[in-house]
Amino acid sequence: MMSQEVMSIYAAMKIYPANNVPGVLTLLGGKVHFEANGALKRTEIRNDFYFSEINNMKMSLSMQPYKISIKDSENELWEFNQVAKKEGQKFVDLYNDITGQ
């Protein structure tokens, strides 16, 4: 179940206040996976967010236009910018359905 892909969306991982790494955020059966695009592929700071390590996930308005935020079990916040509103909300809703949140 862990590797079964549920949905993928374009997102950019925020690494510094003004820097984002473009890539694809994928919802799998037991984790959320981020993979950078192009020359930055395999240089991700972190790419796997297991459901057991996620405290919450939410969609919100940002400067670029929407973002998905994942707060992990260490209370570290991971932000994914440049998310399309409709696809991002569906991504978060599917995560909530799978995890029962």
Which one of 18-27, 58-67, 73-82 scores highest in mean pLDDT?
73-82
Mean pLDDT, all residues of the chain = 88
The helix (H) or strand (E) run that includes residue 32 is: strand 31-36
Coil, strand, or helix at residue 91?
Answer: helix
The CATH code of the domain that includes 92 is 2.30.29.30
- Whether the predicted pLDDT of 5 surpasses 60: yes
Q: Per the structure, how many domains does the chain have?
A: 1
Using DSSP's 3-state secondary structure scheme, residue 6 falls into: strand
Query: What integer is the mean pLDDT of 16-39?
Result: 86
Collapse the DSSP code of 60 into the 3-class scheme (helix H, G, I; strand E, B; otherwise coil) and give the result.
strand
Range of the domain at 68: 5-99
Q: Taking the model in full, what pTM does it have? A: 0.83
**Res 80: pLDDT:** 93
95 contacts 27 by C-beta, under 8 angstroms: yes
Beta-bridge partner residues of 66: 61, 83
* β-sheet bridge partners, residue 16: 19
